[in-house]
């Protein structure tokens, strides 16, 4: 990304309406893989994921198609990996593309199906009380600077909209589902994110 494009992305104002659960300027793609949070649970945790479809390939329609249950029957002919995800019903609240652009699939006050069997600080079923944010990338390849800036901006905007959230409560998918999931992977620069969130070095 060129310097001029980077400045444009950095200058975008992020706003979240807590009544609708929608973020601006995210592109909205409605996923059916969502439901109400149980018992009036509030979002209290950010779970950071990494995703690329097919693996290690970026761009294209495939993440949208996965999260909307619209992968075509012949998708495995495009890449064999699709055979492993054809029947999944999964989603996330937000995707951050390689250039820092946002795609939203589920309103933030609803439950997205992103973490699966999971636990955070002894509390099970992280989907109930978390916001799932996908970073377009893979475990071993560096994420883009624009993505870190977009992620930190989104976290700050969500904390302003939902007082139950804190930038101190951010975990990787691998943290809440250890042994089952590895994303966002060793290539994810947690110190960089903490610095952008203005948190003490951990």
How large a percentage of the chain has pLDDT more than 70? 93
Average pLDDT in the chain:
93
Give me the catalytic one of 44, 57, 134, 136.
134
Domain of 67? 3-35+42-196
Contact (CB, 8 A) for 49 and 183: yes
What does the alpha-carbon distance between residue 174 and residue 182 come to, in Å, rounded to a whole number?
5
Dump pLDDT digits (tens) for 90-122.
Answer: 999 999 999 999 999 999 999 999 999 999 999
Told to judge if 134 belongs to the known catalytic residues of this protein, a careful annotator would answer: yes
Q: pLDDT value at position 200?
A: 76
Is residue 202 in some structural domain?
no
What beta strand segments (E) does the chain contain? 15-17, 22-24, 27-28, 34-35, 45-51, 94-96, 102-104, 111-112, 119-120, 123-124, 130-136, 170-172
Q: Position of tokens 């990494």? A: 50
Is residue 86 in some structural domain?
yes
Is residue 201 in some structural domain?
no
Residue of 189, 133, 191 lying closest to 165 (CA atoms):
133
Report the CATH number that the domain containing residue 72 is assigned in CATH. 3.40.80.10
| The two structure tokens encoding residue 51 | 């995703």
Residue of 155, 157, 145 lying closest to 100 (CA atoms):
145
State how many domains the chain has: 1
What would the mean pLDDT of 174-179 be, rounded to a whole number? Answer: 98
| The two structure tokens encoding residue 105 | 């699939």
What would the mean pLDDT of 150-172 be, rounded to a whole number? Answer: 98
Is residue 7 in some structural domain?
yes
Is residue 102 in some structural domain?
yes
């Amino acid at each position: 990304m060129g310097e001029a494009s980077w400045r444009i992305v950095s200058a975008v104002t992020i706003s979240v309406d807590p009544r609708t659960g929608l973020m601006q300027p995210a592109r909205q793609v409605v996923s059916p893989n969502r439901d109400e949070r149980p018992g009036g649970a509030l979002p209290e945790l950010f779970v950071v994921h990494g995703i690329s479809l097919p693996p290690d390939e970026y761009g294209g329609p495939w993440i949208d198609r996965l999260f909307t249950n619209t992968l075509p029957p012949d998708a495995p002919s495009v890449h064999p990996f699709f055979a492993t995800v054809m029947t999944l019903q999964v989603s996330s609240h937000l995707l951050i593309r390689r250039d820092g652009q946002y795609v939203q699939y589920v309103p933030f006050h609803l439950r997205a199906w992103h973490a699966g069997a999971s636990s955070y600080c002894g509390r099970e079923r992280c989907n109930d009380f978390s916001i799932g944010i996908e970073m377009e990338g893979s475990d071993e390849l560096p994420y883009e600077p624009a993505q870190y800036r977009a992620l930190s901006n989104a976290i700050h905007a969500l904390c302003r909209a939902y007082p139950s959230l804190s930038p101190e409560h951010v975990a990787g998918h691998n943290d809440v589902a250890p042994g089952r999931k590895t994303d966002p992977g060793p290539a994810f620069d947690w110190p960089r994110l903490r610095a952008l969130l203005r948190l003490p070095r951990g």
